[in-house]
Amino acid sequence: MLDIKTLKKDPQAAEKKLRSKDPENSCLPTVALYEKICELKTTLETHQATLNAKSKLIGEAKRKGEDTAPLMQNIDEIKEAIRSLSSELETLELDYQNQMLHLPNLPEDGIKVSLDPKDNVCIKEYKKKPEFSFPTKNHLELGEIHDLFDFPRAAKISGSGWPIYKGKGALLEWALLRLMIDIHVKNGFTPLHVPLLVRPEIIEASGQLPKFEKQLFKIRDEDYHLYLIPTAEVSINGYHYDEILDEASLPLKYISVTPCFRREAGAAGSKERGLIRIHQFNKVEMFCFTTPEQSSEIFEAMCNSAEEVLQTLDLHYRNMCLVTGDMSFAAAKTVDIEVWLPGQDRYYEVSSVSNCTDFQSRRSKTRAKKEGEKPYLVHTLNGSGLATSRLMVALLENNQQPDGSIILPKGLRPYLGGIEVLRV
């Protein structure tokens, strides 16, 4: 959630930044509503003060046995005005809160302004894009050769978009997860094993609600109102919900390995079959709580930790600094790390690292405090470290051989009992 003080200070500048994310965004009605609420509160306080003063005088007159009739004049009108204003304020404050929850985070200064993802800026490349001297197979064809997946039976169980990893496919998935955990723990991240179902206020605090309600899976009956997490970011952001942290403990760097559940798979095109766009996938999530001064440095450290995974797997990738219109709702700055997928003939994101500044912490009331000073809102950062579905695709398609065998990267072999090649 944005700081209303920032919006009030320079509404036109804030409006320009908001519209750089989405032309439909506007903070001006929200600022106007806030100012109206402030005016009504002032009027309400005036009426309340008048009523209190009159009540005091009436009490004194009664103790002295004096006539209270003159003092009782307009008392009913004042009480009715207070009731009416209180009711109006309650309605307006709910509307104001809803409007604030729909406003995205402001982009950092210096982020390229564009609504077109084609304008994203490449800031780094690792290795050269692989070239093949033979016709390549996509991961579905390779998976069929090596019996790594079972999409038909997965569809029988749950419908399309819910994969089953089978045999060596499952072992590859677990090996990737174990490799990533080891890298991030080495880099100072503390592992958390978090709930997959969370309360509405927790998912709202991360910025998923109310805007993305229709993209979420949920359970709602007489006993439960819970949401399946679209990413462990939601659970970890809620880990310090409504807490005041000791500034000396910051930065707090966490990772968690969870399935992620998303409804958005339905729009996949013909090239996005298999593992490219699915309803459930596994992901190692990095999440950090920092002081405002630490967040830029930690952002770079998170990018480096994600990149180390891809470097260990010897994969070509590129880092793209996203333009304003391609960033997520909660992000002030985002770098996507993309791998080349030969079977799709294009780059796909396998990690997205974002600095959300104090946008999430204002929702989750997560603060920090130095001894003897007032609490302040922390900065939160999140990043995939990494999502395994597209990483699996990259691993298979980039390491395939003419006969369909797949050479496994040296860094992954210790997690597979030393297996070097998946042979046909």
For the stretch 378-403, pLDDT in tens is 999 999 999 999 999 999 999 999 99
Ranges of CATH 1.10.287.40 domains, the chain: 4-102
Amino acid 272: pLDDT: 74
CB of 149 closer than 8 Å to CB of 169: yes
Active site residue 272: no
Amino acid 271: pLDDT: 62
Q: Which CATH superfamily is domain 117-422 in?
A: Bira Bifunctional Protein; Domain 2 (3.30.930.10)
Upstream peptide bond of 322 is cis (omega within 30 degrees of 0): no
d(CA 25, CA 15): 8
Q: Which of 235, 305, 352, 354 is catalytic?
A: 352
Residues of the chain below pLDDT 50: 265-266, 268
Burial (Cβ within 10 Å: 0-12, 13-18, ≥19) of residue 61: middle
Amino acid 145: pLDDT: 97
For residue 268, give every residue at least 6 positions away whose Cβ sits within 8 Å of its Cβ, in sequence order, or none.
Answer: 161, 276, 277
CB of 389 closer than 8 Å to CB of 282: yes
Q: What is the third-level CATH fold of 4-102?
A: Helix Hairpins (1.10.287)
CB of 230 closer than 8 Å to CB of 208: yes
Ranges of CATH 3.30.930.10 domains, the chain: 117-422
Amino acid 68: pLDDT: 86
Q: Which of 26, 199, 349, 413 is catalytic?
A: 349
Q: How far is CA 417 from CA 309, 404, 405, 411, in A?
A: 19, 21, 18, 12
Q: Which of 277, 318, 363, 367 is catalytic?
A: 277
CA atoms within a 13 Å half-sphere pointing along the CA-CB vector of 280: 15
Amino acid 264: pLDDT: 73
Six-digit token string for 379: 């900065």
Active site residue 19: no
Render pLDDT for 240-281 as a digit per residue (tens, 0 to 9): 999 999 999 999 999 999 999 999 744 545 567 899 999 999
Hunting for tokens 């009782």 — which residue is that? Answer: 72
The phi-psi region of residue 65 (left if phi > 0; otherwise alpha if psi is between -120 and 50; otherwise beta) is left
